[in-house]
C-alpha cells in the first residue's frame, strides 16, 4: 500500500472511532442521568443540545461529535466511492459512508509493541510478549479484498445460516457463526441505514416499500414487524451489492453477479443496477 493511503486509513479510523466513542458516551450519560433521577435537560451542561438548524444551543459532547463528523467528511471527500456516488444518496451521510469505506478498504492488524510482529490472541508469536495491560495497541494497515458480493455480505453479517442471519455467540468454533468471521460494526450499520434512509426517503426506501408489499403476499401469516424487517434487510443487502459494484468499477476490478443470479437460476434481467450511479444520473435511471 502506498504510504499516502496508509496515512488516510489511519486518519479515517481515528475519526470514525472518535465519533463512535462520543456517541456511546452521550448515550451512557443520558442513561445514567435517568437512573439517578436527574431531571430531563440537566445533563445538557455536559452533553450539550442541538437546535433544529444543527447548531449547538449549549456546547458539550454533542458539539464535539459534530466536529468528529465533519472530520470524517473531510477525510472521505477524496474517495471516489464517496465523492462520485454515496454523497448523492439520501440517508448516507459522512458517518455511515466513512464507516463503510473504512470497513470495506482497510483492516487494522495489532502488532507487538516490542518487535513489531503480528499478534495472535494478543500474544506475540516471536518474542512471546503479551499486549494486554500494555496500554493502547499499535496497528499496521492492510487492504481488504472482497472478490464477490457474497463475501462482502458475509463480512457485514448479512449471510444466512440454516435460513437465518446468525447472531453473535460465545465460544463457538463453527466458522459460519464465529463472531470473528463477520463485523459487529457492519451488522449495526444495517440498522443505522434503515433509520436514516427511512427518514430521508429516496430510491432505497421506495425499494423497501415494494418489498413490504411483496412480503405481504409471500408471508401473509408473518407479523407486520417481521415483514418490515425482512424488507429492510433486503434493501440493505441491495445497497451493499450496489456498494460493491460501484467500488469495483471505480477501482478497475472485475464484476461478478450475485450467487442467486450466477448459480441460482434467477433471471439476469431482474438485476437492479446501482441507484444514483448510472453515468452520473443522480437518480440512477
Give the whole-angstrom CA distance, residue 101 versus residue 93.
12
Q: What is the pLDDT of residue 195?
A: 95
Q: How far is CA 283 from the centre of its chain?
A: 23
Task: Show Cβ contacts of residue 178 under 8 Å, excluding neighbours closer than 6 positions.
Answer: 172
| Residue in this structure with the C-alpha cell 430510491, named with its chain if needed | 203
3-class secondary structure, 56: strand
Confidence grade of residue 208 (pLDDT, cut at 50, 70, 90) = very high
Task: Please state the rounded mean pLDDT for residues 219-248.
Answer: 94
In the chain, the N- to C-terminal Cα span, in Å, equals: 35
Q: DSSP alpha helices (H): ranges in the chain?
A: 3-35, 44-47, 61-76, 80-83, 94-105, 149-155, 184-200, 203-218, 224-251, 259-262
Which of the residue ranges 33-42, 57-66, 165-174 would you say has the lowest mean pLDDT?
A: 165-174
Task: Show Cβ contacts of residue 155 under 8 Å, excluding neighbours closer than 6 positions.
Answer: 103, 144, 146, 182, 183, 186
Residue 200 scores a pLDDT above 90: yes
Query: What average pLDDT is seen over the chain?
Result: 82
- pTM for this prediction: 0.82
Distances (CA, A) of 176 to 165, 173, 187: 10, 9, 15
Give strand ranges (E) for 167-212: none
CB 65 within 8 A of CB 56: no
Task: Please state the rounded mean pLDDT for residues 254-268.
Answer: 62
Q: What is the pLDDT of residue 139?
A: 80
Q: pLDDT per residue over 92-110, tens digit each? A: 999 999 999 999 999 888 8
Q: pLDDT per residue over 126-160, tens digit each? A: 888 777 655 567 788 889 989 999 999 999 998 77
Confidence grade of residue 233 (pLDDT, cut at 50, 70, 90) = very high
Amino acid at each position: 500500500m502506498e504510504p499516502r493511503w496508509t496515512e488516510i486509513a489511519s486518519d479515517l479510523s481515528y475519526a470514525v472511532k472518535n465519533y463512535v466513542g462520543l456517541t456511546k458516551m452521550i448515550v451512557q450519560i443520558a442513561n445514567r442521568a435517568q437512573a439517578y433521577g436527574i431531571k430531563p435537560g440537566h445533563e445538557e451542561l455536559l452533553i450539550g443540545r442541538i437546535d433544529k438548524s444543527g447548531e449547538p444551543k449549549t456546547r458539550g459532547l454533542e458539539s464535539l461529535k459534530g466536529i468528529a463528523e465533519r472530520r470524517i467528511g473531510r477525510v472521505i471527500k477524496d474517495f471516489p466511492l464517496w465523492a462520485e456516488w454515496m454523497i448523492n444518496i439520501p440517508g448516507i451521510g459522512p458517518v455511515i459512508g466513512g464507516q463503510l469505506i473504512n470497513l470495506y478498504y482497510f483492516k487494522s492488524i495489532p502488532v507487538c509493541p516490542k518487535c513489531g510482529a503480528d499478534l495472535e490472541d494478543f500474544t506475540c508469536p516471536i518474542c512471546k510478549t503479551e499486549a494486554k495491560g500494555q496500554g493502547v495497541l499499535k496497528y499496521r494497515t492492510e487492504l481488504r479484498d472482497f472478490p464477490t458480493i457474497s463475501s462482502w455480505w458475509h463480512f457485514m453479517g448479512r449471510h444466512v445460516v440454516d435460513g437465518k442471519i446468525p447472531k453473535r455467540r460465545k465460544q463457538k468454533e463453527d466458522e459460519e457463526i464465529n463472531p470473528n468471521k463477520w463485523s459487529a460494526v457492519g451488522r449495526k450499520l444495517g440498522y443505522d441505514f434503515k433509520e436514516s434512509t427511512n427518514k430521508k426517503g429516496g430510491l432505497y426506501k421506495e425499494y423497501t416499500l415494494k418489498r413490504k408489499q411483496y412480503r405481504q403476499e409471500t408471508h401473509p401469516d408473518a407479523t407486520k414487524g417481521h415483514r418490515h424487517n425482512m424488507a429492510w434487510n433486503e434493501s440493505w443487502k441491495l445497497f451493499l451489492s450496489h456498494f460493491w459494484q460501484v467500488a469495483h468499477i471505480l477501482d478497475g476490478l472485475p464484476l461478478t453477479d450475485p450467487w442467486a443470479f450466477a448459480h441460482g437460476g434467477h433471471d439476469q434481467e431482474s438485476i437492479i443496477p446501482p441507484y444514483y450511479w448510472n453515468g452520473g444520473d443522480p437518480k440512477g435511471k
